[in-house]
Chain A
């Protein structure tokens, strides 16, 4: 019931709740293939693929200030997607704008590398961030000439702010890490604390957006970056940011689609806030198809979250019972990592692939946390998505179990 209510509030005006039947929207998948790498990229449901094909085959024109019919249609649908994104995240259009980029990393960098000089006193992040955050905060701090501080997190993912000055800080943190799927506890409090001290909070929601949207909704961060391709959409980055933050950026990546007038040595930027992050032509088809992804996900969100929770618990319990394997997670989550003890992670991933089970191996772009700080060799990560079924998980557990016992 709680999940249903949550879905209703997310997609408020037309409450339409759909239960997820096995392979709902993913009828093209073979039962032989068990894809467990949704943390990297989710598979796309049929309506998303159809929307993208429709754009390419029916009205594949440019958006932005065109006068012909196809272009007008593109413009309308892109604008609708922007509105849908803000709606899904429960953020008001009067304060926030939605811009599209290449991916989460690109969005974070566009923000961090264009922060106004002298405005901020420090950059704060945490040890468990993936490279998109961890590395971009390094270069941003260097560019600004301000200190960068790396904070610890508690077992619940809460950021330990003790001893750190939040005054005029740029805080960049993930809402859910991409190794254990731990959601950052007290995220809204963190945002409020930082903003109260004149700082800003930029949230990396690459994992939280697809797996914990209901918990992320309404968190009034200054910016939220995530990837449509981790959220059942096409390859696309999304940035939700306050109009104030976007307006304050020191525009460095500029060109077509961003200016209203240009003289010999000067230019005038457009007033629409999202244009600050959208130099040049955009991926119109992908943006429109992401709108279709949100339409598909909306009525299913509660069911998807419920299904993921069920699959995560099953995976966690099954892996916990296996020999020669150390779970890195302390609790079930849609993203679970483990260290195989008698075989390398990459090798195990290749072996599993041969058995039709696709998992990720490596340090998952969290090199500082896993390799540098904890000194771990490569890990194996399994992550579930809307397309997964109990049969998928059981088959994966069966194959992993046989290999853990036999290798």
Chain B
């Protein structure tokens, strides 16, 4: 193992100093033999080890044997650490490419990922499983997760069409305009990055060049919804679309009006409606939604009907189907996500990027 460690060290030194590059050839030859399960070039290995032990041999020869063992153990640990690090690096890179985040379990914690509200995916993490004493499960879950990621690679390479994932009763920001390409955002009303994406789209004029629609996906974990009233808002948005579709006329745009209020406006106390909603009780939230529906022109009895529809099994079914589309077809771990310009973009998309999307 010592020659593998030596190779890594010499590799790093070679990057900054040419004098180590000749040694790099010897180190690589030795390391390659080791990783291909052949005897290492003992000359190089022994030279490295002996040089390390030489000062001790001169001063305290009796300590050479324990030091030699310590070097071997350290070398093993370093190689093990290197292998694990390389695995994590490769896995993280693959996750970043496929899901837009290097950590599937906690997408938001990846500093390389775009800003997002993460959808915690899959079973518990490796170290949590190890902590629970489930060593086999830890490795099994790790490799199963890796397999899923590999399986998702082809989907990331294909040409994405937002229309393929739009709801049957989809509504569009500012109304549908013939000839414009469709863009689809996947949002949670409680996620602050969805609000920012909404504002970015407005600033970039994205909604004036695209037919922007949405899939509403309230993030849910084992502990319940990430944002307390997101499921309620999602059910009302879904119910509004279904209600308008049932009337047979054009969409009222009330769902987008609610989203605009949540994402861009403040209440009388100067508090963002989104922040207020995330802390309000269900009753307060429902009342505010009814106010916004009234503001959008719905009569009281229509508001009552929409409220009933929002609480119906039909709406629950629609939300469940949306959840399936997001998790099994789009397979994003990031909220918001945007399907536009033939690509899936995970997390918040900035104004310049939005302007640059073909």
User: Which of A's residues lie within 8 Å of B, judged by CB?
Assistant: 343-344, 346-347, 350-351, 353-355, 399, 402-403, 405-407
Determine the chain B residues whose CB is within 8 A of the CB of A407 once the complex forms.
57, 61-62, 64-65
- Could you say which residues of chain B place their CB within 8 Å of the CB of A350? 47, 50-51, 54
Q: In the complex, how many angstroms separate the beta carbon of B3 from the nearest chain A beta carbon?
A: 15
Q: Decide if A354 touches B46 in the complex (CB within 8 Å).
A: no
User: Residue A347 contacts which of B46, B55, B60, B62 (CB distance < 8 angstroms)?
Assistant: B46
Known pairs A354-B54, A406-B60 / 8 extra A-B pairs, C-beta < 8 Å = A351-B54, A351-B58, A355-B57, A405-B61, A406-B61, A406-B62, A407-B61, A407-B65
| A84 vs chain B, min Cβ distance (A) | 41
Q: Contacts A346-B43, A355-B58 known; A406 to B50 CB distance under 8 Å?
A: no
Could you jot down 6 A-B contacts, CB within 8 Å?
A346-B47, A351-B53, A354-B55, A355-B57, A406-B61, A406-B64
For residue B61, which residue of chain A has the nearest CB?
A406
Chain B residues with a Cβ closer than 8 Å to the other chain, count: 16
In the bound complex, residues from chain A placing their C-beta under 8 Å from that of B60 are 406
Contact indicator per residue, chain B 51-77, by CB within 8 Å of chain A (1) or not (0): 101110110111011000000000000
Chain B proximity of A359: nearest CB distance (Å):
14
Q: Are B54 and A346 in contact (CB under 8 A)?
A: no
B interface vs A, CB < 8 Å? 43, 46-47, 49-51, 53-55, 57-58, 60-62, 64-65
Q: Are A402 and B46 in contact (CB under 8 A)?
A: no
Residues of A near B43 (CB, < 8 A) are 346
The 8 Å CB contact of A351, one of B47, B50, B62, is: B50
Cα–Cα distance between A344 and B49 once the two chains are bound (Å) = 12
A346/B57 in contact, CB under 8 A: no
Which of A344, A346, A353, A402 is close to B61, meaning CB atoms less than 8 Å apart?
Answer: A402
Given contacts A406-B64, A407-B65, contact A351 B57 (CB under 8 A): yes
Given known contacts A344-B46, A347-B46, is B64 in contact with A353 (CB within 8 Å)? no
> Which residues of the partner chain A approach B64 to less than 8 Å between Cβ atoms?
343, 406-407
CB distance from B298 to the nearest CB of A (A): 89
Contacts of B61 in A (CB 8 A): 402-403, 405-407
Q: Which residues of A contact B55 (CB under 8 A)?
A: 354
The one of A344, A353, A405, A406 that contacts B54, using a Cβ cutoff of 8 Å: A353
Residue of A whose beta carbon sits closest to that of B52 = A350
B43 to chain A, nearest CB (A): 7
Q: Which residues of B contact A344 (CB under 8 A)?
A: 46
Residues of A within 8 A of B57 (CB): 351, 354-355, 403, 406-407
Which residues of B sit under 8 angstroms from A403, Cβ to Cβ?
57, 61
Who on chain A is nearest to B60 by CB? Answer: A406
Interfacial chain B residues near A343, Cβ < 8 Å: 64
Q: Which 5 A-B pairs have the closest CB atoms?
A: A406-B61, A354-B54, A351-B57, A350-B50, A347-B50
Q: Tell me whether A354 and B47 are in contact (CB under 8 A).
A: no
- How far is it, in angstroms, between the C-alpha of A187 and the C-alpha of B64 when the chains are bound? 47
Q: Report Cα–Cα, A347/B61, bound state, in Å.
A: 12
Residues in A whose Cβ lies below 8 Å from that of B65:
407
- Inter-chain CA distance A343–B50, complex, in Å, is 10
